[in-house]
Structure 1
Amino acid sequence: MSDNVHYKSNIELTPQEYEELEDFLLHESGLKHPMNLDALDGFMTALIIGPEPIMPSQWLPHVWSSAVVDEAPVFESDEQAKRIIGLIMQMMNALSHQFEESPEDYAPLPNLTTFDSDEDQRKAARLWCCGFIEGINMNQDSWKSLLKDEKGAKTVFAISAASGLLREKLNLDEEKEYELWKLIPEAVLEIRDFWRPGHRRKKPDEKQPKAEAPGRNDLCPCGSGKKYKKCSGQ
């Protein structure tokens, strides 16, 4: 699906880079439960618009395994590790730049992609929502104030319902879930705005911090267990 992603700026990954990243995650990494690009986009969105920043060393293992299993990718070389982690960081920074510079133009990745069928598009939408929920679960305590707010709780509920995770409980079908999906772009901006009056409010000249590589003495986020300077940071 990566060739059909609509490319918008030189900050974002090109269609070829999206394809390279997706091929690695799904086919070359040796991972059993990796996120695909749609889930990754939703996951990153929650991390970026959420209440507190989370370091790459904390969230990157969730990219490798979206299940409750510890997995680490198999890289052919240090160069490939640097390349793949660099693409993930670039994707994160491009999304952060979008929210910083032109949030009114925001659209989740499934809405920027041409699919072969309606079913493929609906599946991508559900995966995006699952990724977003996983992003919330990275730091549930910090999200509590949003979930206690009536409007905020409704926005998160819409994302949860559109994910397919509540299908049986709410007696939803794919059509109803996809109708909820159409509300998601606005819901994302409402969640982002919820945090802005509080501790995440920016000064006029303040920019969102970019996702940076770990420090050289930190554990490498690739999951190898080595220090970054002796692994991907070489």
Structure 2
Amino acid sequence: MLPPLSEKELSRLEDLLITYGNDYSVLNISELDGFFTALASSPATVTPERWLPEVAGGKVPKFKKPAHEEAYTALMLRYASQVAQSLAEDLEGFKPLFEQSETEEGTTIILEEWCFGYMRGTQVAGWRELPPAQDEQLKAISLHGLEDNFELLDAMTSDELQACVPQVTQAACNLYRYQKLQRH
């Protein structure tokens, strides 16, 4: 069992995501957390050979230094393992790594990046159509994770958006639980 990433390692991984990212890649830890949550929640295992290029927007980046490639790959593998392990061992205590913003009213949770990562993960894993109850769960996540819904989100108040936080968290847990039963 690998140790969880430290704050310093998470920061290093995010720096590497930004340095080697492009318009189509995962650019922050919150999006990566959502991506790995969806992969861990998939009915079939998705290998790193399949998902590593997807994190980078379709192909593995050309690294400036071998040390960057080693760090990128090692940290990525450890973080994927960490997310999967936390879901498997403590689903009730699962806390998605949502971005936060400080406002005059206090801390605001930002769902979009995490949800975009989750939806990307469902695509990479090739999720099939879900039964109605689970499809509703996925809609709680896709509301914040698909560009098609930007107008709906723009029409929502801050309070309405914050009310979605526990719904998204619960949806991720419910989908993990459901998909775990579907695994072959």
TM-score normalised per structure 2 = 0.84
Between Structure 1 and Structure 2, the one with more strand by share is 2
Alignment counterpart, residue 12 of structure 1, candidates 4, 29, 40: 4
What letter matches 1:96 in structure 2? A
Output the CA distance in 2 between the equivalents of 1:120 and 1:57: 38
Q: Which stretch shifts more, 101-110 or 160-169?
A: 160-169
Alignment counterpart, residue 112 of structure 2, candidates 108, 122, 126: 126
Aligned partner of 1:152 in structure 2 is 134
Output the CA distance in 2 between the equivalents of 1:37 and 1:77: 22
Aligned partner of 1:21 in structure 2 is 13
Q: Deviations over 1:117-158 (max 9, x none)?
A: 4899544x2110011011111233x431x2xx1210110011
Aligned partner of 1:89 in structure 2 is 77
Q: What is the SS of the residue equivalent to 1:108? A: coil
* Pairing 1:34–2:20 present: no
Alignment counterpart, residue 128 of structure 2, candidates 133, 143, 156: 143
Confirm or deny: 8 A CA contact 2:21 2:56 kept in the other structure: no
Aligned partner of 1:79 in structure 2 is 67
Confirm or deny: 8 A CA contact 1:17 1:87 kept in the other structure: yes
Q: 1:127 to 1:101 in 2, by over 3 A?
A: same
Output the CA distance in 1 between the equivalents of 2:20 and 2:106: 26
Per-residue deviation, 1:30: 5.9
Output the CA distance in 2 between the equivalents of 1:64 and 1:33: 7
Aligned partner of 1:181 in structure 2 is 165
Output the CA distance in 1 between the equivalents of 2:170 and 2:65: 41
Aligned partner of 1:7 in structure 2 is none
Query: Whose Rg is larger?
Result: 1
What letter matches 1:130 in structure 2? F
Per-residue deviation, 1:101: 1.4
What letter matches 1:54 in structure 2? V
Q: What is the SS of the residue equivalent to 1:109? A: coil
Aligned pairs for 1:54-65 (under 5 A) are 54-65=46-57
Output the CA distance in 1 between the equivalents of 2:81 and 2:59: 24
Output the CA distance in 2 between the equivalents of 1:119 and 1:88: 32
Output the CA distance in 2 between the equivalents of 1:45 and 1:184: 12
Confirm or deny: 8 A CA contact 2:16 2:68 kept in the other structure: no
Structure ranking higher on relative contact order (CA contacts 8 Å, 6+ apart): 2
What letter matches 1:194 in structure 2? Y
Q: Once the two structures are aligned, what percentage of the paired residues are identical?
A: 22
Unpaired stretches in structure 1, ≥5 consecutive residues: 1-9, 201-234
What letter matches 1:160 in structure 2? S
TM-score normalised per structure 1 = 0.67
Aligned partner of 2:151 in structure 1 is 168
Output the CA distance in 1 between the equivalents of 2:124 and 2:78: 21
Between Structure 1 and Structure 2, the one with more helix by share is 2
